[in-house]
Amino acid sequence: MNKLLAATKLILTLKCEQSTRIVSESLDRELSGVERWAVRLHYISCWSCRRFGKQLRMVRDALRTKVASEDADATKLSPEALKRIESAIQSES
């Protein structure tokens, strides 16, 4: 019974800050049915939060595209770094 009350409370009294928090979490995990409904209902009367959700996903997609297009193999130790590390290792022990 408590769970049902908590769910109802969430759905009916969801404020913007909380809504944005749930939307943010949706980027990292799956939302529960209750959470999804709470946000959907909140969206009906809140354009700000609706836009927030869209913009958050836009930024996330932009970053993913950017990272994917960068050559991961380009990240390597520079020749200077290699030399430095090597001599540091040699002088140890």
Partner 1 sequence: MYAKGFFSENARKPPMVEATKRAKGQREKHLPEPMSEKNNPPTKEDVTEWLTEHGDLLYRYAMKRIGKSDVAEDLVQDTFVAALRSADGFEGRSKVQTWLVGILRHKIADHLRKVSRQRQRDAKTREDASHAEVFQHGHWRVGVKPWTSDPAKSLENEEFWTVLSGCQEKLPDKLSMAFRMRDIEDLPMAEICELLEITATNLSVRLHRARVLLRECLDQNWFSAQRHR
Which residues here bind partner 1, judged by CB under 8 A? 15-18, 20-21, 24-31, 36, 40, 47-49, 51-52, 54-56, 58-69, 71-73, 75-77, 81-82, 84-86, 88-90, 92-93
Instruction: Give whichever of 1 and 75 is closer to partner 1, judged by the CB atom.
Output: 75
Token duo for residue 47? 């354009």
- What's the min distance (Å) between Cβ of 9 and partner 1? 14
Helix axes 33-45, 47-69, angle to 10 degrees: 120
Token duo for residue 7? 């769910």
Give burial (CB, 10 Å; 0-12/13-18/19+) of 87. exposed
Instruction: Give whichever of 1 and 78 is closer to partner 1, judged by the CB atom.
Output: 78
What number of other Cβ atoms are within 10 A of residue 39's Cβ?
A: 23
Instruction: Give whichever of 4 and 92 is closer to partner 1, judged by the CB atom.
Output: 92
- What's the min distance (Å) between Cβ of 1 and partner 1? 25
